[in-house]
Amino acid sequence: MARMIDYLPELEGDEATYVSKVMQNMDQEIAERFSTVYRARRKDPQTLLLTAVIGFFGAAGIHRFLIGQIGMGILYLLTGGLCVVGTVVDLINYKNLAFEYNQEIAREVASLVRN
């Protein structure tokens, strides 16, 4: 049984709990592959915060492109971050945006490495 803290010690809070559950029944080899791929694909919440701040002062929606929400990114670009309100909301909820994205990535990577 793999322990998440041994492979991904940089994870914190809800993300660590979720990834720990995903890795629960993985053997050592699969856990190593999972951690390598997951670490490369996950988005750090601080990166999303930084790009949202850049969007607040410049090109809105960059953070949405980073998490794969192309449609919302284009909408933010064309509407100035939904008249800045959407960007402000995203500045407040940046950790949740990153967590939701990372959950999806963890599910994809887990199914990828198990097959």
Nearest to 8 by CA among 31, 34, 35, 33: 35
Tokens of residue 31, six digits: 């856990």
Tens digit of each residue's pLDDT (9 = 90 or more) over 24-61: 989 999 999 999 999 999 999 999 999 999 988 888 99
Tens digit of each residue's pLDDT (9 = 90 or more) over 71-103: 999 999 999 988 999 999 999 999 999 999 999
Q: Give the domain ranges of the chain.
A: 4-114
What one-character-per-residue DSSP string does 51-96 give? HHHHHHHSSTTHHHHHTT-HHHHHHHHHHHHHHTHHHHHHHHSHHH
